[in-house]
Structures are given as C-alpha cells and as structure tokens.
Amino acid sequence: MTEVGKKNDLIVLTEGALITALAMVLSFVPHSTGVSSVEFVYGLIPMSIYALRRGLKPGLMAGLAWGILDLVLRGFSSGGFLNPLQGFVEYPLAFGVVGLIGLGSVQVKRSIKDGKSALGLIIFYSALGFFAKYFLHFIAGGIYWGTYAPKGMNPWIYSLVINGGSFIANMIMLVVLAVVLNRVFKQLIIVKS
C-alpha cells in the first residue's frame, strides 16, 4: 500500500472513532418519544452520514464499535442485556448492520456531485440500515421480550408495535433533518481532497 493510502485509511478510522464517540454521547441525551420503549436514537444520524461518506466497511466497523460500547456503557446497566445470544444480536449485530447504509455511498456521492439534493437516495439507504437494525430488535423482541407485553398481547404483535414504532420514529427524525439540513448533510457526505 502507498503512503497516501495508509494516511487515508488512518483518516477514515479516526473519523469513525469520533463518530462512534459522538453517537455514544448522544445516547445520554434524553430521547423518549412519550411511548415507553420507543426511542429516538440520535446517534443514527451521524452514523448514517459516516456510512454514506466512507462506505460499507467503515460503516459496518463503526456500527459494530458503537454496539459494543452501547452494550458495555448502557446495556448491562439498563436491563437491555438478557443473555449472551440476545445481547450479541441486539448490540454488536443490530448496531453493526446500521453500516449497511454504506451500500449507498457511491450512488449518493455521485448524485451530490451531479448537483442534485440526493434526498431520495439518502432516505432510501438510511431506511435500509435502520430497517435492518429494528428488524433484528423485532426478532429478539418476539423471542425474548414477550414478558414485557401487556397482559394477553401476543409477543410478536407487541414487538412489532415497539420496534416498528422505533423504526418509524427514527425515520421521521432522519427525514426531517435530511430535508431541513440538506445542504449540511451533503457537505458532510462529500469528501473534499
């Protein structure tokens, strides 16, 4: 690898560490939606921007690091960890797959460089990553969180309401921000050399 290649890898990694730290810090800001267990996850916004800016592998790696940190700093103490398999699926894996947003990196950056808003593509690929995360929470919810369902409610319906609700809440947050701050999003996604 060339010296320039190595230096760039170091920049990508450093950005990933900063974004992960930011996502983690944001989870300590109150983020209730008013409906119990349905939360805004503010860190999804910087993660989405990072994955679109740097692509699939950096996105997956940053998401994975975020998931491990969230498990250690919040999961164990908040009661979000029930057993090793559930913990693995809902933390490293569910946060990691947010990086799938990076699948849209090339297309989104091309669209921005062509002078377009890229809004549809940003929303589409963010939806892909957010959906992957909440689909895993939905599966885990149906299997492991049924005891928290209101009396008589089917665990899978309960999980669909909670995790489907979280997916929708976070999509609304992303769409509003991507529309209002479209210029900022575009500037943050494009890598200036």
Which phi and psi angles does 6 have, rounded to 5°?
Answer: -65, -40
User: SS3 for 38?
Assistant: coil
Q: Give the residue closest to ligand 218 by C-beta.
A: 141
User: SS3 for 39?
Assistant: strand
Amino acid at 180: V
Nearest to 42 by CA among 22, 63, 59, 62: 22
Closest to ligand 218 by CB, 104 vs 129, is 129
| 137 interacts with ligand 218 by CB under 6 A | yes
Closest to ligand 218 by CB, 32 vs 187, is 32
Residue from 100, 163, 173, 178 that binds ligand 218 (CB under 6 A)? 163
Pick the stretch among 11-19, 105-113, 122-130, 140-148 that binds ligand 218 (CB under 6 A): 140-148
| 42 interacts with ligand 218 by CB under 6 A | no
H helix intervals, 27-118 = 44-54, 56-70, 76-78, 84-88, 94-96, 105-113
Closest to ligand 218 by CB, 2 vs 36, is 36
| 158 interacts with ligand 218 by CB under 6 A | yes
Terminal-residue alpha carbon distance, the chain = 19
**Per-residue mark of binding to ligand 218, 58-97 (x: CB under 6 A):** ----------------------x---------x-------
Amino acid at 175: V
List interacting residues with ligand 218 (CB under 6 A).
Answer: 37, 80, 90, 137, 140-141, 145, 148, 158-159, 162-163
